[in-house]
Amino acid sequence: MQNSANQTPYERMGGAETFRTIVHVFYQGVAADPLLKAMYPEEDLGPAEERLRMFLEQYWGGPTTFSERRGHPRLRMRHMPFQISPEARDRWLHHMMAGVDAANLEPELDAAMRDYLQRAAYSLVNTEPAIPFGAPIPPTPPDA
């Protein structure tokens, strides 16, 4: 067993099982969400679930299977075919946060994961000018 200083965030988060949980819970939410479900090109969400899982694993220092199979992530470009409105972003984040809840990460890793997902989701909205990745996120209006 490595001590935590030598471990990747992926390992510290609990490895494959954690990512499987987060993404699986997320896709259960998507399947039951008409606005999001209509955006997914394939009826079977299984392959999309696997792509998102591989991407997140790679981002946090796990296996690099995503790039081996799919090439450079280019997330903004890959999302261009889909109209990602602020509402779609917020639905997406809602289901993803339910996945993070289910993973029960320790507080520091939990905060890092939520912060990353929020920034990534804000940077992919393409129905209005993008908020560059890393820029401060404006407060959400109370009635949004």
Q: How many CA atoms lie within 13 A of 23 on its CB side?
A: 19
Residue with smaller CB distance to ligand HEM, 48 or 102: 48
Q: How far apart are CA 22 and CA 56, in angstroms?
A: 10
Residue type at position 98: A
By beta-carbon proximity to ligand HEM, the closer residue of 8 and 127 is 127
Radius of gyration of the chain measured on its C-alpha atoms: 15
Nearest to 12 by CA among 51, 59, 60: 60
Closest separation in Å from C-beta 61 to ligand HEM:
15
- Give the shortest CB-66-to-ligand HEM separation in angstroms: 7
Name the site residues for ligand HEM (rule: CB under 6 A).
Answer: 36, 39-42, 48, 51-52, 55, 70, 75, 78-79, 82, 84, 88-89, 92, 117, 120-121, 124
